[in-house]
Structure 1
């Protein structure tokens, strides 16, 4: 049973925000998310961190400006996820506007694996013959790949945001906020954000050189923020102040119909209104369709969709991506059913170690390598354990994809496994919440044991209880369309969660809709004084509980979000229930 806690906030910060004119409910929400003053809520581009704070960025901009002037051939080497695809699209689109000769190459995950490997460098040299390689969303760990490029006479510029290893690659220049000595304060910026910042620096360098003419006019780089917003949200990086500015500005462009043909086409095939788009659509509607190309096929299709200005071609690409995403969902459903059966069987076996395990590692030779990350996420959500799912890789190898819970840094955990058992992992990379690795198939059982030992060292039993954080109760006066509409237009996501609330409700009526959802009429119960009987509100509210068709008891404790329900052209307020429990068994910590 999850534990529900109410987010704490600093009383002084609450007062400060209230004095700035924020209503108490918003002051409370923002204070609980670390906002200390109204300036941190500003989303104008003028509030972005200056590009000059990136280590090596002026050097890299000068190298690119020299390459453009010398008409050198540039090649972007991308990653095969949404962040890599959008980063590649930003680089391609802007560099071409700046007069560069630039192409791209994205590794097929099944043939080449992740990053700038020596094999990818050799392929680039043989097929594209570039003078200069630019990595986006990868490269910080590509020591061997950069060495191979240097041997073949190609310069390498690394743009990345992942954590570096003990040794940096011998690239001509590296920009990465997480490399040693980089003062850029937003360590959470996505790969697409890093290349966008490089383009800001390059434009400034070219402006200083007097490179802009009537033939090559100075571009408005804000017109590419739709791509930056998509990649940032889809990569699930923490939405700090700087990232929220990038995302909000991108959303505003999309809502005004000023996005690229590819994003517009993806919204159309998903039947979403561009004027109503939020971070939800970026992360859960567009991101998965884009990612489907890299998971099942080749991310070139996604990059083509995002780089074309031809609306017909963009629509064709979007339709193919939509079909790939359907296939991905079917594969995922089969894998999920198989995985949950394995786990349920193990849980019923009294001899199984999974009963007391702090981690979960699973392998099946039939599982699809491109979908194991999603499966790991689903299992992590259900069992609240660090999870690594393996599929067959190259000969005698397994590819693993992991997802983690709060308090367990997955990449650091894998690093501990390597230090304790150097023979078990061939290669790995990632960050706190997600990571990938390759092991020899014969070492699977040993790896599982070693990973479990690390998990038991770093986690406590309390860590294995899922915690649902809420923003507490809402006064009846705060439950209105105005607040719902305001919250719907803001930027929420990783590290800056969408507000949820908890309360006790009387279930006035309930009926099944769409065969698998509960449509509810709810009356909120309030107790203004300790020991007083709970009083029903005189107003009843619409509610919805998705993917649940069993009847609820008359009284429930629920975690909910305010939602605007659009139906038959009419907008109404409803409560979207995210979690509920019987009032006989409340698990709410009001003292958090």
Structure 2
């Protein structure tokens, strides 16, 4: 694997002199050249009226409210699904509903979304209306079952729509045909939030609040959940998503957040006043996801729903324990997977075009993380398989989780395999960078061969060359705590609006391992300034390197606080000998 560091292309900007020129350049590198493009006020959110399906859904909710029907929220077992479910539960109660419950399918028993298995369970209950969150657009069979039983269905989802839409009473999804909503990147929790906003506006227009002599509820108090789910689902932070995340962060920093979010941050010793968008992805998100991966996501949802901080702390501690268990499982699986890849490399002389790994005892809830780790290490599209169920023929069914590299659409690759080699894949779905599939165990070797053949027709040297984009070399006077704070305030940063990353050549004054796998550095720039640096999960086959005294480093700025001392620290993302 070759490595290519490239600097972002920038252009002239219309920002005032009040904005730091380096930050103006950073914005330009992300396609923003005018102050009007940096919107962070709640009033600048895209209008609810442009989201197709809202007008179909709100009369159904109005009828359900007047009759106090029983509503069941059907969620998903990831952080977006958990926050969507909690948000809908809280929001509907705030809007006056008294009979609201939720059901999140266990990934091992039901699979994804409103499946036929889950649908058959729900029709045995007294549910009048089902609202899906972060799922539903592909749940054709399950929705048919509940509809045939007389249960109404509102789908709220953000995943790509297929050729056939479900037979729901209302579908709210910006990625369905004919929807003019400008943000196609909104997360499932964002779509759920827009439905609540739309229903509140509908009740206002109907004179409901006036007739009841009550004040319309403030739904903004739940925007911390929207921000968390948006970042944790790794959707692109376009303008609308950045507003949602910024507003959520502002509430959290003010202490106006769910007790569960506060407790999950406390478990990682995160200062509430200094929380960043990356904390959603690397601190809270994994702990919530651990419940869905190893146990039952309902536990994570209860943590988000509770109003009692003491209870939230106990739940957060349990979620933290689950996450630690997930890490242990993942580490063992990853080491076994790397051994498989190393064997392939030794026998074939090079890493294959695509990596497929499988062990019979691997945990189905962790294969996606393992596939992602292998993809990062070897820079190859990767699929990790785990045993699922025994098929009708007595053969084992394998569930696969795929992760891809930029320039290769993994869902399209699976589609091509399915077309050219019919019968090898049972089912598949996903998008450009991640996908899921099922195959019969006896067809694993056949699938691997087909996967490799199709990949070789698409992979080029350019695609296999990893590019690291940076914002260039940082001026010497920017290595300050004040500039670090300006960078943080210029966000929120995240997927599609990458956190500022810089590169430069530094002299290594000192290097040592801490925590067995992290490289601690003391660095000097060409002006003689000294900095601490930390490279998490360093390549131990390369570092520490006593023969290297100069290195090309890709890094991000960070503020390190230790024993009352505050200084600038470099978070090293890549390091090579200069």
User: Relative to 1, partners in 2 of residues 1:540 and 1:455: Cα closer, same or farther, differing over 3 Å?
Assistant: same
* Matching of residue 246 in structure 1 with residue 244 in structure 2: yes
Preserved CA contact (<8 Å) 1:20 1:38: no
Map residues 81-480 of structure 1 onto 2, 5 A cutoff: 81-100=78-97, 101-126=99-124, 128-212=125-209, 217-350=215-348, 355=350, 357-395=352-390, 396-480=396-480
| Separation in structure 2 between the aligned mates of residue 481 and residue 26 of structure 1, nearest angstrom | 15
* Matching of residue 545 in structure 1 with residue 540 in structure 2: no
Give the secondary structure class of the aligned counterpart of 1:394. strand
Q: CA deviation at 1:515?
A: 4.9
Give the secondary structure class of the aligned counterpart of 1:538. coil
Preserved CA contact (<8 Å) 1:4 1:470: no
Q: CA deviation at 1:178?
A: 0.8
Give the secondary structure class of the aligned counterpart of 2:366. helix
User: Relative to 1, partners in 2 of residues 1:291 and 1:356: Cα closer, same or farther, differing over 3 Å?
Assistant: closer
Aligned to 1:587: none
| Separation in structure 2 between the aligned mates of residue 217 and residue 125 of structure 1, nearest angstrom | 36
| Separation in structure 2 between the aligned mates of residue 216 and residue 303 of structure 1, nearest angstrom | 29
Give the secondary structure class of the aligned counterpart of 1:111. coil
Preserved CA contact (<8 Å) 1:484 1:562: yes
Q: CA deviation at 1:40?
A: 1.6
Q: CA deviation at 1:513?
A: 4.1
Q: CA deviation at 1:451?
A: 2.2
Stretch of structure 1 that moved more, 180-189 or 61-70: 61-70
User: Relative to 1, partners in 2 of residues 1:323 and 1:566: Cα closer, same or farther, differing over 3 Å?
Assistant: same
| Separation in structure 2 between the aligned mates of residue 439 and residue 271 of structure 1, nearest angstrom | 43
Preserved CA contact (<8 Å) 1:146 1:156: yes
Aligned to 2:565: 570
Deviations 1:374-401 (A, max 9, x none): 0010000001111111100111211111
Preserved CA contact (<8 Å) 1:228 1:246: yes
Q: Which runs of 5+ in 2 are unaligned?
A: 391-395
Q: CA deviation at 1:493?
A: 1.1
Aligned to 1:499: 500
Aligned to 1:521: 522
Deviations 1:172-228 (A, max 9, x none): 111111111111111111000000011110100111122226786421111111101
User: Relative to 1, partners in 2 of residues 1:215 and 1:316: Cα closer, same or farther, differing over 3 Å?
Assistant: farther
Preserved CA contact (<8 Å) 2:6 2:467: no
Give the secondary structure class of the aligned counterpart of 1:349. helix
Preserved CA contact (<8 Å) 2:374 2:382: yes
| Separation in structure 2 between the aligned mates of residue 313 and residue 558 of structure 1, nearest angstrom | 44
TM superposition score normalised by structure 2: 0.94
TM superposition score normalised by structure 1: 0.92
* Matching of residue 580 in structure 1 with residue 575 in structure 2: yes
Give the secondary structure class of the aligned counterpart of 1:437. strand
Give the count of matched residue pairs: 565
Deviations 1:111-155 (A, max 9, x none): 1111111110111122x3211111100111111111111111111
| Separation in structure 2 between the aligned mates of residue 20 and residue 440 of structure 1, nearest angstrom | 62
Stretch of structure 1 that moved more, 447-456 or 219-228: 447-456
Q: Which runs of 5+ in 1 are unaligned?
A: 526-536, 584-592
Preserved CA contact (<8 Å) 1:267 1:273: yes
Q: CA deviation at 1:73?
A: 0.9
Preserved CA contact (<8 Å) 2:344 2:351: no
Aligned to 2:393: none
Q: CA deviation at 1:109?
A: 0.3
* Matching of residue 558 in structure 1 with residue 553 in structure 2: yes
Q: CA deviation at 1:425?
A: 2.4
Give the secondary structure class of the aligned counterpart of 1:462. coil
Aligned to 1:532: none
